[in-house]
Amino acid sequence: MFNIGLIPLDNRPCTMLFPVELGRIANINIYTPPEQYLGNFLQQGHPQYIYEWLEENIDGWDAVILSSDMLAYGGLIASRTPNTPLEQAKGNLKKLKEIKSCNRDIPIYAFSILMRTSITALDDQYASYWENIHRYSYLNDPNLQEEQPHVLEELNKLEKDIPKAILEEYKGARIRNHEINKFMIELVNGDIVDYLIIGQEDATVYGMHKKEQEILYDMVHSYNLSDRVKFVTGADELAMNLLTKFILEQTNEKPSIRVVYSSQDGANKVAPFEDIPIDKNIDAHIESIGAERQQIEDDSAHIYLFVNTPKETSNNVFADNYMDFIEDIYSQQNTDKIIAIADLAYANGSDIEFLGKLKGNINLSSLSSYGAWNTAGNTLGTVLSHSVIYWLSNKREILNYSAHINFLLQRFVDDHIYQSIVREKLSDIIRDDGLSPLNLETYENKRHYDQILYTVMAPKIDDFITTYFNNVKSYEIITLKLPWMRTFEVWVEIQATTV
């Protein structure tokens, strides 16, 4: 059994709880800092306390997985503001040298975020700023300006329309974060960090981030670090990617993954909030976890990754050969293949029509993984990590089956029931009360809406389990609430007893 220390990106369940739950599937103990050290929403975390916790507990661990953004700035939200000066952020990360010098045999797996194309939407007013800064970043790309010189006029207008203080904060955070990403590559080159994933947060095919990417790519190649520094499109899933990478390295395994699309045209699309086609992002995620993509279509693949690709609009009924796709999943499931499903049709939620067909033809409880949350990259990292850990644990006869079913069930509850059905209804209630779903403002408000959330969701969860998870004998909802002062995500923990 392995023991791993995890310093997450923040205290949301997707960044803190998901890796812990995946670890349980393979009987791996994952330790996280006290939650109060990690901050909460707009309150940044406390790197100094996290370092103290790390130094006190690292003895006996087999690896450390860490977020450079938490250690440098105090978390993901804090990374989007210039509140932490560059030298302070660097100073925070330099402490890793002391940790490594005293613990040479303990590998450090790190992930660092390449900043998104806009700010955090704190309320409805900031949401309008988000749109303008997002557009500003998009237009501020030399390649786009060369292809379409007329965009300079719009760019100049935006510079005048966006409040100067907000634009300067955004640009200041970008410049600092880029320097920190370069510094993280230096730490890999100096053998302080053993393996690094740089994740591109919300982006577009053009933008200020593209030049930063080029600089980082060149730096990695100049140091000959391509085997130890990987680039993917995504952020919240990266601790799970690194956990999977560690497990595969320790067991000397390299599973083969066959990718099957609902539409080949869809595979070549760039998903919302991303800057590369889905097919390339899948390659990047598979490579980052240490697996390999099957190149010849035969029956030798260890895992079948079925990808429901994006639709052109929400009015499109089915992708090309949609029912053939469902039939392919069904036929492979009947041969006892390990089946993973990444539902990428829409950002942050399931394709209800696809899932409806899936529920009618597929045994959901026998899947190795399912995901449909936030960006395509977030879903891909989660689904791939879950399916690989399930495959390896089953192969080595260490599988914690109940932990696997709990995580699989929670993905349906979160990604389908909450994100696609309940979230907008809850947001409407909040708007009718004169508040913004982006910021509930007080803990009293949050507790009130947590109660409404539970009342609405609990019957839906019961119906879903009763109908589609016949291997669950009984269950208990341990946690069902909003983790932050907003409706963007839900915290759900279900403890199921399997037959």
Whether 254-399 and 3-251 are alike in CATH topology: the answer is: yes
Interhelix angle 376-395/401-411, nearest 10 degrees: 160
| pLDDT, tens digit, 9 for 90 and up, residues 437-460 | 999 999 999 999 999 999 999 999
| Closest of 391, 351, 349 to residue 368, by C-alpha | 391
Q: CA distances (Å), 251 to each of 236, 248, 255, 259, 396, in order?
A: 25, 5, 11, 24, 10
Tokens of 10: 């923040």
Q: What is the pLDDT of residue 318?
A: 45
**Nearest C-alpha neighbor of 31 from the set 56, 39, 195, 97:** 56
Amino acid found at 209:
H
The whole-angstrom separation of Cα 375 and Cα 181 is: 22
* Other residues' Cβ atoms within 10 Å of the Cβ of residue 320: 13
Close Cβ partners of 155 (under 8 Å, ≥ 6 residues apart): 136, 139, 140, 145
Side-chain-side CA neighbours of 330 within 13 Å: the count stands at 12
CATH level 3 topology of 3-251:
Rossmann fold (3.40.50)
> 109-152 pLDDT, tens per residue?
999 999 999 888 777 777 788 889 999 999 999 999 999 999 99
**pLDDT at residue 211 greater than cutoff 60:** yes
> What does the mean pLDDT of the chain come to?
94
Count of beta carbons in the 10 Å neighbourhood of residue 268: 13
| Per-residue pLDDT at 315 exceeds 70 | no
Cβ-Cβ contacts under 8 Å for 222 (sequence gap 6 or more)? none
pLDDT at 321: 59
Alpha helices by DSSP H, 61-148: 68-73, 76-79, 86-102, 124-139, 142-147
What is the CB-side half-sphere exposure of residue 81 using CA atoms within 13 A? 14
Q: How confident is the model at residue 215 (pLDDT cuts 50, 70, 90)?
A: very high
User: What torsion, rounded to 10 degrees, do the Cα atoms 469, 473, 474, 478 define?
Assistant: -60
CA distance 413 to 461: 7
Distance CA 390, CA 291 (A): 14
Q: Which of 34, 283, 69 is nearest to 183 (CA)?
A: 69
Residues 298, 303, 308: CA angle, nearest 5 degrees? 95
The pLDDT value recorded for residue 99 is 96
Q: Which of 356, 354, 382 is nearest to 369 (CA)?
A: 382
- What pLDDT is attached to residue 322? 74
Count the Cβ atoms, other than its own, within 10 Å of residue 60.
9
> How far is it, in rounded angstroms, from Cα 67 to Cα 239?
8
The DSSP 8-state label assigned to residue 311 in this structure reads P
So what's the pLDDT on residue 127? 77
Q: 472-481 and 491-498: which strand pairing?
A: antiparallel
pLDDT in tens, 61-119: 999 999 999 999 999 999 999 999 999 999 999 999 999 999 999 999 999 999 999 88
Domain-wise residue ranges, the chain: 3-251, 254-399, 414-499
254-399 adopts what CATH topology?
Answer: Rossmann fold (3.40.50)
Q: What is the pLDDT of residue 324?
A: 87
Name the nearest CA neighbour of 385 among 494, 202, 194, 236: 236
Two structure tokens written together for 432: 């009718």
Whether the model pTM is above 0.85: yes
Is the pLDDT at 319 greater than 50? The verdict is no
Q: How far apart, in Å, are the Cα atoms of 377 and each of 134, 169, 363? A: 19, 27, 25
What the block records as the tokens of 461 is 């969860």
- Beta strands per DSSP E along 299-425: 303-308, 338-343, 369-371
Distance CA 419, CA 436 (A): 17
